[in-house]
Amino acid sequence: MIRQYELVDLVKAYNPDADEALLNRAYVFGAKAHADQQRANGEPYFGHPLEVAKILTELKLDDATIVTALLHDTVEDTDATREQVEKLFGKEIAQLVDGVTKLGQLELSSKETAQAENFRKLLLAMSKDVRVLLVKLADRLHNMRTINYLRPEKRVRIARETMDIFAPLAGRMGMQGMRDELEDLSFAVLNPDARVSIMRRFLTLKKQTGDLIPRITEEIEAALKKQGVEALVIGREKRPYAIWRKMEAKKISFEQLSDIYGFRIVTKTEIDCFRALGAVHLTWRLVPGRFKDYISGPKANGYRSLHTTVIGPEAMRVEVQIRTQEMHEVAETGVAAHWAYKDGKRAENRFAVDPFRWLRELVNRFETGDAPQEFLEHAKLEMFHDQVFCFTPKGDVVGLPKGATPIDFAYAIHTDIGDSCVGVKVNGQRVPLWTRLRNGQTVEIIRASAQRPSPVWEEMAFTGKAKSAIRRALRHSARSEHIALGRQIVKQAFARIDKESNDKAMETAGRKLGCRSIDDLLERVGAAQITGRQVVEAVYPTAPVEDGQGNSLRALGPPVRGVRRGAAVRMCEHCRPIPGDRIVGIAKDSTGVVVHAIDCPLLAEHEDSLATWLDLRWDEDADQSADHVARIDLTVANEPGALGIVCGLIGEQRANIDNIMVTDRKPDFFIVRVDLEVRDVKHLAGIVTSLEAQAIVNDVMRPRAHPADEAA
């Protein structure tokens, strides 16, 4: 366990002006608070906060962050309170400790909806002060380093959580070194056999070729010296998880993998980076397609470097990264560079990006109304994927995740540009909207003011920003459509009782049905959440609703014969039989009798129990009531106003719409399922005929497939 003076010395090594009294006070407070606690390995618990603090000293962080590391478990796991912490260490440290405590209470591996909500809370806490995340990541890193002392099932849960959430977050925050270690430690828990296999293959390779890293390092240093470039050369084997991930992505074996060695050249100036690149390319042959310039086009997390792969000694592929010392600090520590100290002063690193920008964008996106699951999906997409860089016609650079399409490009510039996109030119050529963009392409978005997003765009889009904007636009469009449809349904429902559906009547109905406005009421009617009859009854509860021919629409009981008196009778929800259909009944011990049309596919499930079958027939006056609900499926052209025309035709045939929903939607057509209140088969046939006569209606049918087949 690190001693008190050792921790102070670690901090003062990079910040001679550190508040030694504050650090000592925090050390003593934490040690006393955790005095009676032990970790799973039997060691004193306070050793854990000390190791977390030590990890943060490697990032050269400020006193407040180091003290937060020492105290981060006191409020949650001991008798200490936030008030005590604030009194002894100040408001800033108390807020940081409180933020880390709340993160520790989140169960990020729980079921999806809860995970998404907790992830949002994590981002909210981080967006207030990113140092909360730095402490949490250091806490998770030390926990992963000591994970073998936990129960197997707990190890797997924590490792999966680390791989899914914390490692990508570290990468998105630019902390690549920490991300690599978190991923590899998780890999050792989640797939130990694969990791051991890769380690053994490394040992076999070393026996065959010797240790290539010192030899290649010397050759690179000689090449740089020849060109007069002063630089530090660092060589390493890639981590087992990075090797395995590449093998999985390319579907190749370890023996087929070439670039398993990586080298970094750290120079003094940016000019030296390009001189070093020239020295490397003059010495070894470049592998085509493997050069990337992240200096002129940095990644979103501030990462800058030149990447190249060459054919090195013994025909081995060698990956080389070239960057300045400032770039190297950002590459290794990411957002931590904002708080890092050098020679007792806060180090101003010109390459470090604003750590709050991405977090604010994500939090704002959640607050615009995305569902929690959608938000989590978008956040993970943006954390995991590398970037491509494309240009606008004016030469502005737009960074996008690898796999992005022109739709993502349009929304990355502005939501209005995305919403009005009708086409795209890439390098001057028209291409489909689903085209995957590549580095260096110039993208020109073609717009039209009347254009609106299509549902298929969501499948084409890759970024969370684009998907979120498309869903928002579709929800707005669907709301407008539902309001227009609901207005027609309500108008027909009031007309049946010779009443007018004016705003005052609808306001009254809306209040009784719990709607905030007339538009909300009409939207719910159009979305089949409320029926037109419910709206009428909310205003005129005692008015009899008729079909226009003096026939009451209120059925007094099941209009079938062949059922014993007192038995509960209900119509099959799938086939929806109506007078004129041949019908049979299936007796149910607990639920009475279910009435089916003779061609209902559900009857096949009762072929082995014919004793439960009942021969039923309709009452003679069954067709005098329009309370029978029939179901039809319509294939309708995807055109503005199409649903309004359908509803108008149904109303003209004196039928009420009980329910309506779109079951499938394509660019050219959509399938609508409509439940209608009709008198009998003849009434329904008249409605079907009038619908089939319309150019916008391609097909009308009563569904008869088995529900399981429909779901498939």
| Domain termination site, one of 133, 155, 190 | 190
Share above pLDDT 70 across residues of the chain, in percent, rounded to a whole number: 82
Annotated catalytic residue: which of 9, 19, 58, 77?
Answer: 77
Whether 677 is a known active-site residue: answer no
Biggest CA-to-CA distance, the chain:
105
CA distance 401 to 228: 37
Average pLDDT over residues 317-339: 82
CA distance 325 to 295: 13
Of 62, 20, 14, 11, nearest to 338 by C-alpha is 62
Q: If you compute the radius of gyration of the chain from its CA atoms, what whole number of angstroms results?
A: 34
Parent domain of 695? 625-711
pLDDT range class, residue 299, cuts 50, 70, 90: confident
pLDDT one-digit tens code per residue, 39-93: 888 889 999 999 999 999 998 888 999 999 999 999 888 888 989 999 999 999 9
The answer to whether 238 touches 181, Cβ cutoff 8 Å, is no
Amino acid at residue number 84? Q
pLDDT range class, residue 308, cuts 50, 70, 90: very high
On whether residue 372 sits in a domain, the answer given is no
Sign of CA dihedral 606, 611, 615, 616: negative
Q: Do β-strands 261-267 and 317-324 pair in parallel, antiparallel, or remain unpaired?
A: parallel
Instruction: Give the residues across from 560 on adjacent strands.
Output: 618
Any idea what DSSP says for residue 611?
A: G
CA distance 651 to 489: 8
CATH number at 47 reads 1.10.3210.10
**Structural domains in the chain (count):** 3
Beta carbons within 8 Å of 397's beta carbon, 6+ residues apart: 297, 389, 390, 391
CATH number at 702 reads 3.30.70.260
CA distance 370 to 365: 7
pLDDT range class, residue 360, cuts 50, 70, 90: low
pLDDT at 162 over 50: yes
On whether residue 514 sits in a domain, the answer given is no
Sign of CA dihedral 693, 696, 699, 704: negative
The string of DSSP codes covering 482-539 is HHHHHHHHHHHHHHTTT----HHHHHHHHHHTT-SSHHHHHHHHHTTSS-HHHHHHHH
pLDDT at 545 over 70: no
Average pLDDT over residues 459-469: 84
> Are residues 86 and 175 part of one domain?
yes
Instruction: Give the residues across from 624 on adjacent strands.
Output: none
CA distance 257 to 245: 11
> Are residues 261 and 231 part of one domain?
yes
Helix (H) or strand (E) holding 285: strand 285-286
More confident residue, 558 or 65: 65
Annotated catalytic residue: which of 9, 19, 20, 76?
Answer: 76
Which of these ranges, 249-258, 275-284, 539-548, has the smallest mean pLDDT? 539-548
pLDDT at 350 over 80: no
More confident residue, 366 or 661: 661
The answer to whether 645 touches 691, Cβ cutoff 8 Å, is no
Which of these ranges, 94-98, 115-119, 191-195, 444-448, has the smallest mean pLDDT? 115-119
pLDDT at 550 over 60: no
| Domain termination site, one of 190, 210, 225 | 190
pLDDT range class, residue 343, cuts 50, 70, 90: low
The answer to whether 406 touches 437, Cβ cutoff 8 Å, is yes
- Unique residue bearing structure tokens 């003094």: 268
Q: What is the pLDDT of residue 453?
A: 86
- 3-class state of residue 197 by DSSP: helix
CA distance 26 to 67: 6
Give me the helices (H) in 385-497, please. 406-413, 415-419, 457-460, 464-495
More confident residue, 595 or 383: 595
Average pLDDT over residues 697-712: 74
> Are residues 181 and 221 part of one domain?
no
> Are residues 174 and 218 part of one domain?
no
> Are residues 203 and 185 part of one domain?
no
> Are residues 22 and 157 part of one domain?
yes
Average pLDDT over residues 648-663: 85
pLDDT range class, residue 473, cuts 50, 70, 90: confident
- Unique residue bearing structure tokens 């395995």: 244
Catalogue the long-range contacts made by 2-9 (C-beta closer than 8 Å, 24 or more residues apart): 2/47, 2/50, 2/51, 2/53, 2/54, 4/28, 7/50, 7/53, 7/54, 7/57, 7/66
- Unique residue bearing structure tokens 């039989």: 577
> Are residues 144 and 207 part of one domain?
no
- Unique residue bearing structure tokens 């989640």: 190
Whether 537 is a known active-site residue: answer no
On whether residue 460 sits in a domain, the answer given is no
pLDDT range class, residue 229, cuts 50, 70, 90: very high
pLDDT at 307 over 90: yes
